[in-house]
Amino acid sequence: MSFREFVQAIRADGQLLTIADEVDPCLEMAALFHGLGERPTLLERVKGSRYPVVAGVCSSRELLALGLGVSRDQVLFVLSEALHTPVPPATATSAPCQEIVEETFDLADLPILTHLPGDGGPYVTAGVAIVKDPELGPNMCFHRLMRLDGRRLSGRLVERRGTHMALQKAGGELDIAICIGCSPAVLLAAAMSPAPGVDELSIANALSPTPLVRCRTVDLQVPAESEFVLEGRITRQMVREGPFLDLTGTMDIVRDQPVIEISCVTHRRDALYQALLPGGQEHKLLMGMPREPTIYREVSKVCDCVNVLLTPGGASWLHGVVQIRKQDPDAGKRAIEAAFRGHTSLKHVLIVDHDIDIYNPSDLEWAIATRVQADRDVVVLTDQPSSSLDPSARHRPGVKSRTAKMGLDATIPWRKPSGAMRTEAERAAFAKIEYSTVELDQYNQERSVHA
Q: Which residues are catalytic?
A: 246
Q: Residue 106 CB, nearest distance to ligand FMN (Å)?
A: 23
Which C-beta is closer to ligand FMN: that of 42 or that of 178? 178
Cα 164 off chain centre by: 19
Rule CB under 6 A: which of 260-279 touch ligand FMN? 276
Among 16, 220, 275, 286, binds ligand FMN (CB under 6 A): 286
Using CB under 6 A as the binding rule, whether residue 144 contacts ligand FMN is answered as: yes
Which C-beta is closer to ligand FMN: that of 141 or that of 410? 141
Which C-beta is closer to ligand FMN: that of 143 or that of 268? 143
Which C-beta is closer to ligand FMN: that of 38 or that of 409? 38
SS (H, E, C) the chain: CCHHHHHHHHHHCCCCEEEEEEECCECHHHHHHHHCCCCCEEEEEECCECCCEEECCCCCHHHHHHHHCCCHHHHHHHHHHHHHCCCCCCECCCCHHHCEEECCCCHHHCCCEECCCCCCCCEECCEEEEEEECCCEEEEEECCEEECCCCEEEECCCCCCHHHHHHHHCCCCEEEEEEECCCHHHHHHHCCCCCCCCCHHHHHHHHCCCCEEECCCCCCEEECCCCEEEEEEEEEEEEEECCEECCCCCEECCEEEEEEEEEEEEECCCCCEEECCCCCHHHHHHHHHHHHHHHHHHHHCCCEEEEEEECHHHCCCCEEEEEEECCCCCHHHHHHHHHHHHCCCCCEEEEEECCCCCCCHHHHHHHHHHHCCHHHHEEEEEEEECCCCCCCCEEECCEEEEEEEEEEECCCCCECCCCCECCHHHHHCCCCCCCCCCCHHHCCCCCCCCC
Q: Which stretch binds ligand FMN (CB under 6 A): 282-290, 350-358, 365-373, 403-411?
A: 282-290
Using CB under 6 A as the binding rule, whether residue 188 contacts ligand FMN is answered as: no
Among 49, 193, 217, 300, binds ligand FMN (CB under 6 A): 193
Among 4, 115, 147, 156, binds ligand FMN (CB under 6 A): 156
Using CB under 6 A as the binding rule, whether residue 30 contacts ligand FMN is answered as: no
Alpha carbons 205 and 68: distance in angstroms, whole number: 11
Q: Residue 43 CB, nearest distance to ligand FMN (Å)?
A: 19
Contact (Cβ atoms closer than 8 angstroms) between residue 387 and residue 288: no
Using CB under 6 A as the binding rule, whether residue 143 contacts ligand FMN is answered as: yes
Q: Residue 311 CB, nearest distance to ligand FMN (Å)?
A: 16
Among 54, 76, 192, 275, binds ligand FMN (CB under 6 A): 192
Give the bridge partners for 257, in sequence order: 239
Among 110, 190, 321, 408, binds ligand FMN (CB under 6 A): 190
Rule CB under 6 A: which of 112-141 touch ligand FMN? 139, 141
Q: Residue 188 CB, nearest distance to ligand FMN (Å)?
A: 9
Total site size for ligand FMN, rule CB under 6 A = 19
Q: Which stretch binds ligand FMN (CB under 6 A): 26-34, 188-196, 215-223, 433-441?
A: 188-196
Q: Which stretch binds ligand FMN (CB under 6 A): 28-36, 142-150, 334-342, 412-420?
A: 142-150
Q: Residue 114 CB, nearest distance to ligand FMN (Å)?
A: 17
Using CB under 6 A as the binding rule, whether residue 157 contacts ligand FMN is answered as: yes
Q: Give, rounded to a whole angstrom, the gap between the first and last alpha carbons of the chain.
A: 61
Q: Which stretch binds ligand FMN (CB under 6 A): 79-87, 184-192, 227-235, 313-321?
A: 184-192
Among 147, 268, 283, 371, binds ligand FMN (CB under 6 A): 283
Contacts to ligand FMN by CB under 6 A: 139, 141-144, 156-158, 161-163, 190-193, 276, 283, 286-287
